[in-house]
Structure formats: C-alpha cells, structure tokens
Amino acid sequence: MSNPSFTLSPPVTPAATPAPAAPAAVARPAGGIDLLLVVGLLAVAAAMVRAVWFTPIEAMQGAAQKIFYVHVPSAVVALYLGLPLVAIASGVYLWLKDDRLDRLAESAAEVSLVFMTAVLVTGPIWGKPIWGTWWTWDARLTLTLFLWFVVVGYLVLRGAIDDRAQRARYSAVLGLLAVLLVPFIHLSVYMFRTLHPMPVVLKPSAPSLPPEMTHTLLFAFAAFTLLFVALLRARLRYANERELVALAEEAGQ
C-alpha cells in the first residue's frame, strides 16, 4: 500500500523562504544632528531679526506689518510648494505605485500643515489692528482655512487605515481630488465675498515697498523655503525609519 511518489516533506520548506531584506527603496537614515534643519532654523531666525530690528516700520500699518515677514512666506511655501508636492506625488503614485512617493506625499502634507497653521494664526493677529477684527473672510485666508481642513482630513484618513497599499491608494485619490476642489472653493469664496462687503483693506502687497522691506521679504522667502526643505527631509527620514520598523515587524510574523 505504500506509495513512493507521495511524500509531503521535500518541497515544504517554509523556514527556507528567505525573509526579504529591507527593500532598497527604504534607505537607512544616518543618525546625528540634522545640519540642514539647523541651518534652516538659523536662517528663519536671522530673517526674523532682520525684519524686527533692521527693517523700517511701515508708515500706514505700523509695527503690525512686520508679521508679514512670517505670514506671506509661510503661505507661499505651503500653498505653492507643499501642497502641489502632495498633489504631484499622489498622482504619480497612482501611476507608478512606488511607496516612496506615498511617503513623500505624507511628509509634504504634514509639513505643509505646519506652515498653513502659521498662516492661519498670523493672519488674524495682523487683522485685528489693521482691519479692526480678528477674522474677515478674506479670500486667501479663507481658502487656506478650507485647505487646512482638507489636509487635516487627509492625515486623519491615513491614520485610520492599517494596510499600507490601501492607505497609499486612498490618500492619493484624496490628494488628487483636493486639487480639483481648489478652484471651486476659490470661486465659492469669491461669490460669498461679493455679497458681503469687506472692510477697507490696505493692500498688503503694494508694489511700492521700500527696497529694505523687499529685501527682507525676499530673505524671509529664502529662509522659509530652506526650513520647509529641511523639515520635509527630516519628516521623510522619519517616514522611512517607521517603514523599516513596520517591515521588520511584518517579516517577523
């Protein structure tokens, strides 16, 4: 009754299945001090010092105008650098399905959120002395507020999904839909504003800024961009590190 052709053991080598090494896509980050981040922080500090002590006070708005050296660069960095990065990384992810793009999108979203929060906090601080009220439904500030909601939702969604591929796909879809949403929110805000008379607004970006102010603003732009890049890099490192830990845990199961 013995059947020589039948043995279960030979091909069964579960232990021999090689535990895959960490994918090359996940580079192990180096330890130590993040020099770029230090430089970025110093640059922003220098820009602030220059703005407060070495730039003339604006004649009409007084000292309150100084907040623009934080507000405007933060807004530009978040809205024109960070969020487009999220959108592009999301779109390309759906195409290439490369995990690195997902981590880039996540990191860019989180760093952008920091700068957007700075915009939303500094806006009303400036608005109170100038407009006489903390919050007006200024078009750009309102748009920033709604995008802030979208980005928070994006990050909460990521936190609520365990499966890596699913999380990446869902957040990429949300990232792309958010791009389509921006012009519509813009139009809605504009439509809303036309029905609600605004307080007389001093044009903050009047073309005739004295050269010292222009230089300080440009310096601040550069410093905030540098800080953004440094934070993004640090956040990406963290994402990579976390990925390594997760992969190690899954492989150990």
Partner 1 sequence: MTAPSVLATALLVARKDLLIEFRTRSAFLAAVVFALVAVVIFRFSSDPTAVNPLDLAPGVLWTIFVFSGILGLHRSFGVEQADRAIDALLAAPVPREAIFVGKLLANFAFVACVQLVAIPAVALFYDLPIGGGILAGIFAIAALAAVGLVAVGTLFSAMTVNTRLAELLLPMLALPFFVPVVTPAALATARLLAGRPLAEVGGMLKLLGSFDLVFLVACTLAFPYTLED
Partner 2 sequence: MTAPPPALEAVALARRYGPRRAVDGVSFALAPGDCLALFGPNGAGKSTLLKMLGGLLRPTNGEARVAGRAIGGDDGAVRGAVGLISHQSQLYAALTAHENVAFAARRYGVPDPDAAALLALEQLRVAERASTPVRRLSRGLQQRVSIARAIVHAPAVLLCDEPYTGLDTVGADALTATLVALRAAGAALVLVTHQLGEGLALATQVAVLVAGRLAHHAPRAAVDDAAFADAYRALVTA
* Residues in touch with partner 2 (CB under 8 A): 1-3, 5-9, 11-12, 14, 17, 19-20, 23, 164, 246-247, 250-251, 253
Beta carbon nearer to partner 2, 88 or 173: 173
Residue 132: partners with Cβ closer than 8 Å, 6 or more residues away: 199
Pick one of partner 2, partner 1, none as the site partner of residue 33 (Cβ within 5 to 8 A by kind): none
> In the bound complex, what is the minimum distance in angstroms from residue 183's beta carbon to partner 2?
32
Q: Residue-wise over 150-170: b if at least 16 C-beta within 10 A, else e?
A: bbeebeeebeeeeeeeebbbb
Beta carbon nearer to partner 1, 135 or 170: 170
Beta carbon nearer to partner 1, 66 or 158: 158
The two three-digit tokens of residue 162, written as one number: 């365990």
> In the bound complex, what is the minimum distance in angstroms from residue 170's beta carbon to partner 2?
17
> In the bound complex, what is the minimum distance in angstroms from residue 9's beta carbon to partner 2?
8
Q: Is 175 exposed, middle or buried (0-12, 13-18, 19+ CB in 10 A)?
A: buried
Which span sits near partner 1 by CB under 8 A: 33-41, 71-79, 127-135, 176-184? Answer: 176-184
Neighbours of 125 (CB within 10 A): 14
Q: What are phi and psi of 62, to 5 degrees?
A: 75, -155
Which span sits near partner 1 by CB under 8 A: 37-45, 63-71, 186-194, 237-245? Answer: 186-194
Q: What are phi and psi of 58, to 5 degrees?
A: -70, 135
Pick one of partner 1, partner 2, none as the site partner of residue 61 (Cβ within 5 to 8 A by kind): none
Q: Is 21 in the site for partner 1 (CB under 8 A)?
A: no
Residue 193 Cα to chain centre, angstroms? 28
